[in-house]
A and B are shown apart, each in its own frame.
Chain A
Amino acid sequence: MKRRFVRAVLAAAATAALLSATRGARAQEIQLTGPLKGAPAVRHLRLYRGGRFEIAPTVSFTLLDEYRRTILTGARLEYNLTDWIALGIWGAYGAVSITTDLTDRIDAVAPRDSLTASNVNHTGSMVGALGRASFADQTAKIQYVAAPQATFTPFRGKLAIFNKIFVDADFYLSLGAGFVGLQERQFCGDTTKGQLPCSDPKTFQLSTQNKVAPTFGVGFTFYPAGFWSLGVEYRALPFAWNRAGFDTRGTGPNGNFPDGKIDSNDETFAFNQMITVSLGFYIPAKPQLSE
């Protein structure tokens, strides 16, 4: 019995010794020798962002639009607190608004009669059938966007093109709040609020609406030189709006049927995506170098 106990204690001690020895090996520090001992992996890294202001004129093109495409011109102003975080604002104005094929087709083909009187623009002046008016005039437009944002730049690297052109690049993520100005078909049909019936041609006019939405963007910045850069960015501004000016929801099961009113129930959610290209300039013009 005593001998077995001694064996058990010895086995436990040996196991403990083995485990402690293993722990010691895990904690062992990797000792570099030779010319790289103590050397940083990246020397003289150009810090394109850290401590610099960026002024970047931008042009944005909306994507996957159902009724209207918008081209926004604007600028991004940012101060880079470090090489990986910046605070700033992006603002843009809807300079160009183009109708889609669907809008043109509805404009040309959609009947103007009592069935579509609340949904498709008309003059209301003809007897029997309603006179045609531009459907494009009732579709919503983005007027402006202002987005205070924080930008994180986790990835920094370089790019070889055709093995001849080499350019430094980084990848960033922007998060912020978007304040969006819209031109949307005005609310109508709620007579208790003194609104006109939606079949009235006057209700197809647009009114100004403001939306607040989260916004995020991801993009690449390319640095052909120290004081300027080229950027490509994907951005989304998810919010709900009534892009066609249709009465589509408000009553029936799950509110999925038209209720004769144009109101917030008729707004449908959209991701509101866009591609932005930018040309950035930096102050001070010369980037710092890491050690």
Chain B
Amino acid sequence: MKQARRGLLLAAALVLLPQAAHAQKKKPSKGGDTAAAPVDMDADQQANPPASPSTPPAGGETTTPSPEGLGTPPATGGVDICQITPDADVCKAQKEINLAQEAKKTIRAEVYAVQQQYVIKAQRFEIMPYFEFTLNDQFVSHDAPGLALNYYITQVLAVGVNANWYDGLNADSDFNFQNRRAARIAVPLNDYQLSADLNFTYVPMYGKFAGFGDFIFHYDVYVDGGVGLIRTKPIPIIDPDNRSFPDWNNLVNFDVGIGFRIFFNRWLSAVLEVRDLIYSEKIESLTINAADPTNKAFWYDNGTHITNDVQMQVGLSFLLPTSFEYRLPK
């Protein structure tokens, strides 16, 4: 009978033991719930890893890593690992390094605001398909698909080419027609066929943003400039009965731009750029040669017409190879 009671008490204790464990309170954390901590927006990662000190926090913050975790045994509580395994590397290092002497040394550590940039671009190729929209021409818009190919010689400097194809997408606006009808004034207009430029890209700015306090994304800002070719021809407006312009003119253009790139991962990013193509346009002559309006020598205006075609480019950037290794650890 007594054995049966003991058996029942033992069984009851065994049943209650896991419940007690379940009900155990969590140890209060000093800094809050880590589950709420921001994580890097990184499509390369298979799952959301916990936040780590290697991710520099966003915006004016200071992070102070604890000396714990660097091999120092816990001051209170727990077990000193060096008492158990004195041959461990951590314990040997503690014996060999005189901390008092080391502390007196002058440290000239160069600390960057963003240690280990999120994306290493040096010696990688960039393929950037995009679509550009005209920003500054109310009369004819010159929208076009385009492609840019760049090679990053260093982390901040790239050389590359880009090309736009406009033919078929030039669009004469209603504004142009209404203005012509109301004021009896014609504005010479041109169509574009293509443009291609050799460019240098410089990346002076980079950084990161925390979005909604929940995720972090990295970005950079670049400027570019170069020289190239643009092919245009006038739309006959002044004397369409006698004039036609079937041939495209090859014109030299210079381009300058500024772009903003948001990284989704270490090889894919979205790009927004504003670029200005500057060139001397050949426009239709505003005057008609009354003696012989079919004489082609009088169809073009002889003046210099510096033209700015300001474009907004929206595209994607692919960096190849898709992976890289950092030269130094964090």
Contacts and interface: CB of A to CB of B under 8 A. Distances in A.
B304 interface: no
B7 interface: no
B61 A44 contact: yes
B135 A43 contact: no
Interface residues of B, number: 57
Given A64-B135, A106-B183, A42 B64 contact: no
Interface string A37-58: 1111111111010000000000
B303 to A, nearest CB: 14
B30 interface: yes
Interface string B1-44: 00000000000000000000000000011111111111100000
A241 B138 CA distance: 16
A38 B31 contact: yes
Interface stretch (A72-80, A108-116, A183-191): A108-116
Contacts of B211: 154-155
Contacts of B38: 41-42
A43 B185 contact: no
B112 A156 contact: no
Given A36-B51, A64-B138, A155 B182 contact: no
Contacts of B182: 116, 119-120, 244, 246-248, 258
Interface in B45-70: 50-53, 55, 57-69
A85 to B, nearest CB: 12
Contact of B34 (A32, A44, A156, A163): A32
A116 B183 CA distance: 6
Nearest to A163: B112
Contacts of B34: 30, 32, 36-40
B114 interface: yes
Contacts of B208: 157-158
B81 interface: no
A158 B205 CA distance: 10
Interface string A91-130: 0000000000010011001110001100110000000000
Given A37-B34, A160-B205, A169-B207, A42 B184 contact: no
B135 A40 contact: no
B58 A158 contact: yes
Contacts of B68: 34-35
B59 A157 contact: yes
* Secondary structure type dominating chain A contacts: loop
Most buried by B among A41, A48, A161: A41
B66 A35 contact: yes
B185 A41 contact: no
A103 B283 CA distance: 19
A40 B58 contact: no
Contacts of A48: 60
Given A39-B34, A102-B187, A119-B183, A46 B29 contact: no
B183 A157 contact: no
| Leading 4 A-B pairs by shortest Cβ distance | A38-B29, A157-B209, A41-B37, A42-B57
21 contacts: A35-B65, A38-B31, A41-B38, A41-B57, A42-B59, A45-B60, A46-B60, A115-B184, A119-B182, A156-B59, A156-B209, A157-B216, A158-B113, A160-B114, A169-B207, A170-B209, A244-B179, A246-B183, A248-B178, A248-B182, A291-B32
Interface of A: 29-30, 32, 34-46, 48, 64, 66, 84, 102, 105-106, 109-111, 115-116, 119-120, 135, 154-163, 166, 168-171, 223, 244, 246-248, 258, 268, 290-291
Given A109-B185, A160-B112, 12 more contacts: A29-B35, A36-B52, A40-B36, A42-B58, A43-B61, A45-B61, A116-B182, A160-B114, A170-B59, A247-B182, A258-B182, A290-B61
